[in-house]
Structure 1
Amino acid sequence: MATLDYLRQAGLVVELEGRRLRVTPASRITDEHRQYLSDHRADLLAELEVANDPQIASIPQQEQAQYVIRTAATASSEWHQSRNLYIGHLMSCRACHAPTVRYCATGAALRQRYDHTSMESTS
């Protein structure tokens, strides 16, 4: 529901009418909102269809599946540090060759650290 939440926080109401989006009040829609609606139309349609599905809507929020996508943008600072050390070493070490899994002792240690560092923040 993150896509809908952005528009709701802006004071807009988004409704599904067939396969069309109805956004009100029209007086609050800015050019930025129009661009957001255009860029995220498929996500908005999917979220509204789920929200309007009586079978899904009757399931308590806690029981609905939670999906967390982990990317470098959401990773912990520890993960970023271990990744940067590993990649920095690979770029400068003539003995290391990642595609063939060939590392010097330092490269092997940095690779192991990188592999075992969680992307989730521990704090």
Structure 2
Amino acid sequence: MAALEYLRRAGLAVELEGKRLRVTPAERITAEHRQYLNDHRAELLAELEAANDPQIGLVPQQHDEPQHVIRTAATASPEWRQSRNLYIGHLMICRACHAPIARYCVTGEELRQRYDNTPMESTP
């Protein structure tokens, strides 16, 4: 995909419309780019057709590779969310607790420990 890559590096997007090439943004196309498009038209058409063909270029998934898991509050266990909500709710109303310097009242300290020790993942 060298021909497409050259145009992409120049800041141009190339699409296939039927058998025509559509290059955008038009204001970035220079005379040099137009000459390149004329000289490499067949190669560009072949690359775009191959990129759009679902049967070409498919790489079988490797099932033995670990998946990258992103842990967020949206994917966390209900227990973790509850401990987080209790801890943060307490911090918002307690005048004795100050999280940036790790100063907590007795209740705040207990809630912080519970929050720290509750796993984000659900246990089977």
* TM-score normalised by structure 2 residue count: 0.52
**Cross-structure match for 1:112:** 113
1:107 and 1:116 mapped to 2: Cα distance? 14
1:88 and 1:23 mapped to 2: Cα distance? 53
Shift of 1:23: 7.6
Is the aligned partner of 1:22 residue 2:52? Answer: yes
Runs of 4+ in 1 over 6 A off after TM superposition: none
- In the alignment, structure 2 segments of 5+ residues that lack a partner are 1-46
Amino acid across the alignment from 1:106:
T
SS in 2 for 1:64: coil
What percent identity do the matched residue pairs reach? Answer: 64
**Cross-structure match for 1:76:** 77
Q: Do the aligned partners of residues 21 and 93 (structure 1) sit closer, same or farther apart at CA in structure 2, a change above 3 Å counting?
A: farther
SS in 1 for 2:67: coil
**Cross-structure match for 2:103:** 102
2:96 and 2:53 mapped to 1: Cα distance? 59
2:103 and 2:51 mapped to 1: Cα distance? 54
Shift of 1:120: 0.6
